[in-house]
Amino acid sequence: MNALSPRSLRALWRVLGELEADPEIRALVITGAGEAFCAGMEMSGLEGSDPLAARRRCRELQAVVGRVADSPLPVIAAVNGVAMGAGLELCLACDLALASPRARFGYPETRLGMIPCGGGTQRLVRLVGLRRAEELVLTGRILSAREAAEWGLINGVTGEDALEREADELARRLAGCGKLALYQAKRCLRRAPDLPLERGLEHEAECFATCFASGEPAASLKRYSAQAGAEGGGGAPLEAASEAEEGRGAAAGRKEDEREAGEGDAIFE
């Protein structure tokens, strides 16, 4: 059922680092092997944990889920089955989420004498509001894919056998955008709920200016102007920046990535 053990968390941390360092990778799709997305945190051995060991497991999970949320690449969750506990937390950390009709979502932890500990109590409230978050966490209610879409937990439900295809199509659309622009847009959107409007506008201006360190806007706008002129002034879709430009954009954001990943690196040393 793809439960997250300490070992699998460390493996996921390493894989994320490898993918983010590859200049050819433009977007990530996370899905589950078999018929489950992720059944949650591996419970084996947890029953004998003291508070210190339990906190350690919690912080490891939070670090990995946080890395997904803070990835410089856009991340898509393709939920192909149950997404319970840590599985739902992983889904909520992704930028976009699609689900098959057989997907199920929930936080069953309170039935086991625990609470969600991978950021679930925090991200869920920000996404769906306090009332619905309390209903899901306190009662352990399980949502169908259609209900999850109605609540705003996911972006949509695909056809029965269309999840992989639609997730790939979405990833290709994202790959056609500026790499640094997507990262800066993510930073603005993720911080928006926590910032006063004026501070948020300042942050937006900073991120907008950072985009111009990559060369992406200059190259894209130049192509846009050339295409518009060739078509008699009509609008033309912007093309993605060249790989070299994207590489410069990734380098411009790398220092911020390293700083934000610092705590996680310490946890997994």
The reply to whether 109 belongs to the active site is: yes
20, 42, 60, 109: the catalytic one is 109
Q: Which H or E element spans position 143?
A: strand 142-144
Torsion region of 160: left, alpha or beta (phi above 0 gives left; psi -120 to 50 gives alpha): alpha
Cα–Cα dist 26/72, whole Å = 10
- What are the residue ranges of helices labelled H in the chain? 6-21, 51-69, 86-93, 120-128, 130-139, 145-151, 163-175, 179-191, 197-211, 216-230, 243-260, 262-267
Yes or no: say if 224 and 209 are a contact pair by the CB < 8 Å rule.
no
Read off φ and ψ for residue 3, nearest 5 degrees: -70, 150
The reply to whether 239 belongs to the active site is: no
Cα–Cα dist 126/80, whole Å = 24
42, 89, 204, 216: the catalytic one is 89
Active site (catalytic) residues: 89, 109
